[in-house]
Structure 1
Amino acid sequence: MSDGDAPNDRPSGDGADEQSPLITRAASSLGNMGSIRGNGDKGPLYKDDRAWVRWPMNFLHLTWATLTSNYVNVLLVFVPAGIICGILKVNPTAVFIVNFLAIVPLAALLSFATEELSVKLGQTVGGLMNATFGNAVELIVSVVALQKGEIRIVQSSMLGSILSNILLVLGCCFIASGARRPESTFNETVASTMSSLMAVAATSLIIPATLYASLTKSQASTDMNILILSRGTAIILLILYCLYLYFQLKSHAKLFDAETQDEGGEGEEKEPEILGPVPASVCLVLVTLLVAVCAEYLVGSIDSIVETSGISKTFIGLVLLPIVGNAAEHVTACVVAWKDKMDLAIGVALGSSLQIALFVTPFLVILGWIIGQEMTLRFQSFETVVFFLSVLVVNYLIQDGKSNYLEGCMCLGTYIIIALAFYVYPDDAGDIGGLVKGLFVSQ
């Protein structure tokens, strides 16, 4: 090899170049500070023997690697812009839009840090952590809204997140996988277990809605009875979620372990570890704090957006906020589905929905109980019916353990119809409790 050819040649066996070309190209442009390939015999500065050189260079190297982990991180410029707009109390529409855009890359960074933290924990625990921290955005936004008494925003955000995952994300997974192969298969037992739990979650919303309709002409305190039912149901759902975690991670772990099913096939396809446990944990904490700040300004501007634009709070909470919060999960699930890792894709999409339905929503009911906000599981009857029908559609599509692009288009079509329905659904629309009352209560 001649000296002139050396700079253009790729080192043999450099797995990092194949796995993360963006990081490699960007980091190599930093020279010694961020060089992944090294600098001759001395090596990169972030591995220098001198601690006073190694620590700051290692910090800069990891920061650069994190920032270049995803193209969507270019939107991070909106994070300081959104915070400044919120502090200066500029036009509420500008505050909403800028912080809306700021949360997108922050959600992606949460997903990235979670994946790095779960590299050594396996796909089962990794998928669980991805779903957990992927829901951190919705949880933070909902806690902020709950503190402000915006119960409708909280309820619609929770329902919207579930619908977004089981219809939009799952549909895109089916399409991504179906674009490369006629049919994809996944663990039928796992999918059936998850869909059954979703049916239980749907039931937990239907019962308060029908009870509310039944108590319309009763002398009893309707609101207090619904509150008692909601809090009791929330405790039961949290217990069910804990049992599901034990089922998934302990008693029936082999059913959920996608790695053991794929062993011997593509074992060499191991994702490279960029951040260690400590840097990944620090990243999670910092990003979570930034999400909380942006969410504070985002929620605070919603009332003005509703007044000026005419868009309902229900549509903002049910369609717009979940799309932002689920952006990172959406990309992750589609990428693994494209690689035909459908068990992992199903785990991210349905697993995230289960966490919202069985953990986050009941947790918010209990939190409301603690802080004095009357958060209940009585959603509007129209929303409850939409949720039940969506779960029914998904159950039919995944019960055979197979998927194709047509089933993905069905999920997407259903989601678009629902989004359109809620776009024209005003906040002051009456509940359909009267219709339900006429069906179940004798005149």
Structure 2
Amino acid sequence: MKGKLFYLGLLVSFVISAAAHYLQWNHTVQFVISAIAVVFVAGFLGKATESVAHYAGERMGGFLNATFGNAAELIIAIFLVKDGLFDVVKASLTGSIIGNLLLVLGLSVFAGGLKYKEQSFNVKLASHNSSLMLLGVIALFIPAVFARGLTTKETSSMSMIVAILLVAAYLLWLLFSMVTHKNILSDEAIEHGEPAWSKKTSILFLILATAMVAFTSEWLVGTLEEVTHRFGLSELFVGAFLIAIIGNAAEHSAAVMMAMKNKMGAAVEIAIGSSLQIALFVAPVLVLVSFLMGGTPMNIVFSTYELAAIGVAVFITKSISQDGSTNWYEGLLLMIVYIILGVVFFLV
């Protein structure tokens, strides 16, 4: 019954969102309907990803979960880059990183901790994740510090070089974690249960869900500027919290579900792995895409507020995850930090 209601909600929200866009309804109404549609589509994407993961295996399944779970953020960001809304793009990237580290991981640890007194995961994987998170912070911090003494052209060149290095680092991490050191970094077996669909149907639905995300994301982005001005919201808050929460819907459901099944290793991989992919792959790819689009390219220089938020999120996540065990109180701490950042960003 729940499944039927979900698919009914998916179909209805998508159709109404399309009608609102093409019939040019009120921008605020369009924003709300499109946001609801994105949540449903993200849920559909999560189900399709989980089903494909059953056939692909654990490590590849985790990679697919992170990749397609981030499809909403990536596609939304590409449309924002196309419209030249670079500040919103950077804010949404910031929101995705801190949202995954603080809200998704925090909620997962909290929910799992209420059911199980203590949950554990691979300590070596946690250590490598911490190092990669620090690399992400360094790669964003250094350009921001030195950009003040550079010309626009030099800043663009620096952004291109840093972006290429980060993409290379991420691809080599995939080689390291999935090939050369696969056994050392493996965690407990993830029980996927029975797949929702056959292999071919799962792949077809994964492609369909990604296409639906592309459409709903474009409709949502088209309303952002008007809604932001109408309600007096800053681009930082809209990008870092509203868009990030909507785009992280798939990760929320998947990570919390795994934690509730006492699969904290999987939940941590979904939350932290997703943040790493945003920082080391999605962000630099968007910089490279902006160069290919022509016009004024996007640089990789983030604001002081964004760097502070990412740095704080990485610091507390590293502190909590480095021992390879979690409890409900640690999850609560992560969520409190997220709420503090939300309040500050709203008031900025």
Q: TM-score, normalised by structure 2?
A: 0.96
2:291 paired residue number: 369
1:133 Cα deviation after fit: 0.2
User: 2:240 aligned with 1:240, yes or no?
Assistant: no
Going from structure 1 to structure 2, the CA distance change for 1:99 and 1:210 (only over 3 Å counts) comes to same
**What is residue 88 of structure 2 aligned with on the other side?**
153
2:106 is matched with which residue: 171, 174, 185?
171
1:76/1:106 contact within 8 Å kept: no
The CA RMSD measured in Å over matched residues stands at: 1.6
**Which amino acid in structure 2 is aligned with residue 256 of structure 1?**
L
* Aligned equivalent of 2:308: 385
Contact 1:333 1:348 in 2 (8 A): yes
Determine which of 308, 312, 327 is the counterpart of 2:234.
312
Displacement of 1:257: 2.6
2:193 equivalent in structure 1 = 271
* 1:280 pairs with 2:209: no
Q: Structure 1 stretches of 5 or more lacking a match?
A: 1-21, 24-66, 426-443
AA aligned to 2:94 is L
Deviation at 1:224, TM superposition (A): 1.7
- Residue identity opposite 2:97 in structure 1: I
Alignment of 1:15-414 (within 5 A): 22=1, 68=4, 71=6, 74-213=9-148, 215=149, 221=151, 223-258=152-187, 261-262=188-189, 271-372=193-294, 373-414=296-337
Matched positions, count: 347
Q: Deviations over 1:117-148 (max 9, x none)?
A: 12122222111111110000001100111111
CA contact (8 A) 1:123 1:344 kept: no
Q: 2:342 is matched with which residue: 400, 412, 419?
A: 419
Call closer, same or farther: CA 1:102–1:255 in 2, change over 3 Å. Answer: same
Q: Secondary structure at the match of 2:257?
A: helix
- Give the C-alpha shift of residue 154 in structure 1: 1.0
Task: String of CA shifts for 1:285-311, please: whole Å, max 9, x gaps.
Answer: 222222212211211111110121111
Residue 353 to residue 136, structure 1, CA distance change in 2 (3 Å)? same
Shift of 1:180: 1.5
Separation in 1 of the partners of 2:57 and 2:267?
A: 14
- Alpha-carbon deviation of 1:274? 2.5
Alpha-carbon distance, 1:75 to partner: 4.7
Amino acid at match of 2:166: L
TM-score where L is the length of structure 1:
0.76
The alpha-carbon distance between structure 1 residues 73 and 348, as it changes in their structure 2 partners (threshold 3 A), is farther
CA distance in 2, matches of 1:121, 1:163: 29
In 2, Cα distance between equivalents of 1:336 and 1:104: 19
Shift of 1:250: 0.3
What one-letter code is carried by the residue in structure 1 that aligns with 2:313? Answer: S
Structure of higher RCO (CA pairs closer than 8 Å, 6+ residues apart): 2
Q: Check 1:306–1:320 CA distance in 2 against 1; reply closer, same or farther (3 A cut).
A: same
Determine the C-alpha separation between the residues in 1 that align with 2:40 and 2:287: 29
On the 8 A contact 2:122/2:186 being kept in 1, the answer is: no
* Deviations, residues 386-432 of structure 1 (Å, cap 9, x unaligned): 2112111111111111111111011000000011111111xxxxxxx
Please state whether the residue corresponding to 2:95 is helix, strand or coil.
Answer: helix
CA distance in structure 1 between the partners assigned to 2:6 and 2:251 by the alignment: 15
Structure 1 counterpart SS, 2:88 = helix
The one-letter code matched in structure 1 to 2:265 is D
Give me the whole-angstrom Cα distance separating, in 1, the residues matched to 2:195 and 2:211. Answer: 24
The secondary structure found in structure 2 opposite 1:271 is coil
Could you say if the C-alpha distance between residues 318 and 72 of structure 1 is closer, same or farther in structure 2, counting changes exceeding 3 Å? farther
CA contact (8 A) 1:73 1:105 kept: no
Amino acid at match of 2:343: L
Q: Displaced runs of 4+ in structure 1, greater than 6 A?
A: none
Q: CA deviation at 1:237?
A: 0.3
Q: Which letter maps to 1:387?
A: I
- Matched-pair contact (CA < 8 Å) for 1:176–1:338: yes
CA distance in 2, matches of 1:88, 1:304: 17
Native 8 Å contact 1:167 1:415 kept in 2: yes
The percentage of counterpart residues that share the same residue type is 35
1:319 to partner: Cα distance: 0.3
Query: Which amino acid in the other structure matches residue 108 of structure 2?
Result: C
Q: How far 1:176 moved relative to its partner? A: 1.4
In 1, distance between residues paired with 2:205 and 2:116?
37
d(CA) in 1 for partners of 2:210, 2:166 = 26
Distance change (3 Å), C-alpha of 1:143 and 1:350: same
List per-residue Cα deviations over 1:54-111 (Å, max 9, x = no partner): xxxxxxxxxxxxx54x848625411111111111111111111110110001001111
Deviations 1:190-221 (A, max 9, x none): 011012101100111101111123x1xxxx52
Query: What is the alpha-carbon distance in structure 2 between the residues aligned to residue 270 and residue 181 of structure 1?
Result: 20
Aligned amino acid, residue 153 of structure 1: V
Structure 1 contact 72–108 (Cα < 8 Å) conserved = no
Name which of structure 1's ranges 380-389 and 163-172 shifts more when overlaid on structure 2: 380-389
Equivalent residues of 2:81, 2:89 under 8 A apart: yes
More helix by share: 2
